[in-house]
Structure 1
Amino acid sequence: MTERPPLPPFTEETARRKVRAAEDAWNTRDPDVVALAYTEDCEWRNRDRFLHGRDEIRAFLREKWARELDYRLRKELWAWAGNRISVRFEYESRDRDGQWWRSYGNEQWEFADNGLMRRRYASINDVPISPSDRRIAR
């Protein structure tokens, strides 16, 4: 079984490391890299989409980053207990027409003993912004 430290139960320090590792992975915009953080049978809710397993996650992320160009993300630890972590996040991206967006949200994560995420539930809202309003640097 593959391990992905830090492993639960989380402390504040290990939860912060887990959040930073997730932020770094997502900012690669590489679906194959990001998908490795999840169990083979991971459950996701992303907005109004429900996904099951790494293959669906990979396909979703390919679709996402084909649509959300120049994507850049920040995550912040909100809470942790045992094998669970909650984060707040924001990301910026632009669409094919050049409109920039800032997306805000919260995620609830649950981890398997090996440190892979087995559940991810995300609620996300989008706000159009002008290029001059961007605040997440590359």
Structure 2
Amino acid sequence: MSQQLNAMHPMSLIFLLHIALDVPMAVQGLWSPLSLPFLQLNNTALVFIKMYASLVGGTCVAALLSFNLPEFLPGKRAFAIALCVYHATVSTVLFNAPRFIPHTFGPVFEAYKATPEHVWGCLHGILGLLFAIWWQVTLPYVAAMPRMKAQ
């Protein structure tokens, strides 16, 4: 009896979630960084925002191209781990950052320290965790490959 595996696991939607979270920053950071709601934007910060936006934009393109690939491909798996590390790191940076977004969700949320920076960091942390989960739940695809080649 042979084990039947689809080429793509439903958890691959995580690649599209990466795009949904990061493409707004990539687009706005490249075309209109001064309109970002950040404090103390000087020339150095604007250059770094544009460099960051270009890197994030590149990962969004790669995520779109990786989304439909089979789960067992080493390139897709390596990219997923890179995104896991990226999102976990960005989450930590945002949680430890001083307030730099001059907006609030209101006094009730502020009382619970639910600032825009923390919410943004939490979203990145969730994506980092989901990429780690994707890695684990798609291991059967990788394990099945040598058996499929032998058939």
Normalising by the residue count of structure 2, what TM-score does the alignment of the two structures yield? 0.25
Q: Kindly indicate which of the two structures has a greater share of residues assigned to strand.
A: 1
Higher relative contact order (CA 8 A, sep 6+): 2
Normalising by the residue count of structure 1, what TM-score does the alignment of the two structures yield? 0.27
Q: Kindly indicate which of the two structures has a greater share of residues assigned to helix.
A: 2
Q: Which has the larger radius of gyration?
A: 2
